[in-house]
Amino acid sequence: MKNSILSAIVIALLFTACNKTDDTKTEKAVSLDETITPVQLAKVEQTIRSEEIAASGLVASTDEARLSFKIGGIIQRILVKEGQRVSKGQLLATLDLTEINAQVAQAQYSVEKSERDFKRVQNMYKDTAATLEQMQNATTGFDVAQQNLQIAKFNQSFAKIVSPINGVVIRKLANEGELIGSGSPILFLNSSSASDWVVRVGITDKDWARLKLGDKASITLDAYPDEPLSGAVTELAPIADPMNKLYEVEIKIAPNGKRLASGMFAKIALSPAQSRSYAVVPVEAILEGNGKNAYVFVLDESGKKAKKIAVTVGYIEKDKVLITNGLEDISEVITAGGAFLRDKAAVLVKN
């Protein structure tokens, strides 16, 4: 009997020990699964700024001209070279007039013939030997022939290129003897005036909407990297370029005594008068940044777990990041400890 009692006690002790071991393992597993990461929070501040618009472009003249022939043909002569100064009204290039002169002569013969036909039908109509319809057709034929002659003479007069400005030949785009089409650029001229330099840049529709005429700009030229020039917006294109979908903005440069030339590369920082509101967070709160896209961690509704949200970065200012979207109605973000978090991870806020 005693042996039975002892056996029962030993079995009970063993069962209890096993249960304790299992409970210990379960607690350890739970502890590993529910790792709590200590974190610190930072307040989300609000500020109103006028965010700069960065762009780049080439220096040009306001009075520039891309010159071409009105009609196609073979270039007979180009009378200027690149870098040569030209005067307004100066002859720059001509086409071979053989075909063009023949077209004018052909149109002239057509006018003469239609005029003879018109007079003959007119006399016949007076003698009732021609109908009203024949008279009307002869009149119309004579008028059409005269218009064709006018067109031929107009094309003949524009078979040459004359400088529309006082300037400099920046580029010669064709050579003598080449066959060119109507409107194909032949010469590129810039004004010789020293006070009309501009930079033309392309910007997005969102940036275009923030600008207005007169907004200031800072212009940095590669030729003068340590001496930025000032400028102002003088033109805002009303439509986008069909090729790149950007809106062209013209910025007039104040040379401030600097010698400028067409084609100089310029970096532009535009300062719109229109401002906007930003959420400001420490730079260490930003994770997985890729251009303007990034993420931050915040506390979820329970205050015990991390929540990963996407934000849009406006720009970085020293140790602060200005956020344009994503932090609406968010008062705090996780800073210290955020690099070790994943979405919905358990956290412990420490001061």
Average the pLDDT over each of 12-21, 135-144, 246-255, 262-271 and give the range with the smallest value.
12-21
pLDDT of residue 207: 86
pLDDT of residue 7: 47
Give me the residues paired with residue 299 across strands: 306
Predicted confidence (pLDDT) at residue 261 exceeds the cutoff of 70: yes
Predicted confidence (pLDDT) at residue 266 exceeds the cutoff of 50: yes
Token digits of residue 200: 């033309």
Predicted confidence (pLDDT) at residue 47 exceeds the cutoff of 90: no
Predicted confidence (pLDDT) at residue 31 exceeds the cutoff of 60: no
Closest CA to 149 of 180, 190, 100, 106: 106
Q: By three-state DSSP, how is residue 176 classified?
A: coil
Predicted confidence (pLDDT) at residue 28 exceeds the cutoff of 60: no
For residue 314, the one-letter residue type is G
Average pLDDT over residues 91-108: 92
Predicted confidence (pLDDT) at residue 82 exceeds the cutoff of 70: yes
**pTM score, whole prediction:** 0.48
> Band of the pLDDT at 306, cuts 50, 70, 90?
confident
Average the pLDDT over each of 23-37, 263-277, 295-309 and give the range with the smallest value.
23-37
CB neighbour list of residue 17: distance below 8 Å, 6 or more residues apart: none
pLDDT of residue 190: 78
Tokens 């015990």 locate to: 304
Predicted confidence (pLDDT) at residue 26 exceeds the cutoff of 80: no
What percent of the chain has a predicted confidence (pLDDT) above 90? 27
Predicted confidence (pLDDT) at residue 13 exceeds the cutoff of 80: no
Average pLDDT over residues 233-247: 90
pLDDT of residue 217: 92
C-alpha R_g of the chain: 40
Q: Could you give the domains of the chain?
A: 37-49+276-349 (2.40.420.20), 54-63+188-271 (2.40.30.170), 69-187 (2.40.50.100)
What's the pLDDT tens digit per position in 327-348? Answer: 888 888 888 877 777 888 888 8
pLDDT of residue 164: 86
Q: For the chain, what is the mean pLDDT?
A: 82
Q: Which of 107-116, 173-182, 184-193, 203-212 has the highest mean pLDDT?
A: 107-116
Predicted confidence (pLDDT) at residue 3 exceeds the cutoff of 60: no
Measured CA to CA, the distance from residue 30 to residue 5 in angstroms comes to 38
Closest CA to 298 of 335, 340, 348, 324: 335
Q: Which residue has the higher pLDDT, 30 or 243?
A: 243
pLDDT of residue 153: 92
Closest CA to 267 of 254, 251, 256: 251
